[in-house]
Amino acid sequence: MPRENGGLLGIVNPSTINSARGVFTSKSQYLANLSNKWPRSGSLFFATAHATSPYITAYPFSSLGFGSKFSDPATLPASTGYDTTFSPDGKSIGVAHATSPYFTLYPWSVSGFGTKLANFGLSLSGTGYSISFNPESDIVIIGTGTITDLLRLQALTYSSSTGWGTRFTSLSGLTVTPYGTKINNDTNLVVSATSASPYMRAWVFDKVSG
């Protein structure tokens, strides 16, 4: 069940690896869910990354189903989207995609997509396969298909107003592609579904040391 103040609701299409994420921000909706009654309106959103333009699509969502599609971002992701997620504070949405700059971030509001934030200044080389925010929405974890192990899984500071910040020391020794990477909201444990055995890996993440 979605949780109050930014709990995540998501589904995954295993045939394409593309995924969808929703963010739940309204206390009244949260209380409605406690009684097993979904809201008929409010701040529940659904977004999906996909293979054709505009590569990311978002809708309002309620117990009545999908609302009218939000306008596409003015600046689209560069190509096929593989993952998308809202920040837990509901102020941002990010998409991981196939070609440079590999990850695109937008402000988000009840009106939909804001103006695309500036690309990260350093190389994020390799197909973007996964993107996730920490519970405080001030760190982004990204997974790429690069052949350089130091860049396969990265953590960067983030601000909903200014975008990308600085990169933490990269994780070394990861020789497989992280296709799906998320952060446990209670423990800050980073868990990743990877392309080879053991297929699921986890690391403790610290906001100071990375």
Which helix (DSSP H) or strand (DSSP E) does residue 30 occupy? helix 27-34
- Cα separation, 181 vs 82, in Å, equals 12
> Residue 22 in contact with residue 86, Cβ under 8 Å?
yes
- Whether 15 is in a domain gets the answer yes
User: What sign does the CA torsion over 182, 152, 147, 98 have?
Assistant: positive
158 located within any domain: yes
Question: Residues 31-86: pLDDT tens digits?
Answer: 445 444 545 555 688 899 999 999 999 998 877 788 899 999 999 999 999 889 89
DSSP 49: E
Residue span of the structural domain in which 155 resides? 7-204
Residue 2 lies in a domain: no
Query: Is this structure's pTM higher than 0.85?
Result: no
| In a domain? residue 210 | no
Number of domains within the chain: 1
**Under 8 Å between Cβ of 18 and 50:** yes
Please indicate, yes or no, if residue 48 is contained in any of the structural domains: yes
CATH of the domain at 119: 2.130.10.10
Whether residue 182 lies inside any domain: the answer is yes
- Residue-wise pLDDT for 4-28, tens only, equals 333 334 433 334 444 444 444 444 4
Q: Is residue 13 domain-resident?
A: yes
Name residue 67's amino acid: G
Tens digit of each residue's pLDDT (9 = 90 or more) over 143-157:
877 766 556 778 888
Residue 79 within any structural domain of the chain: yes
Q: What's the distance, CA 203 to chain centroid? A: 18
Helices vs strands, H then E, count in the chain: 1, 16
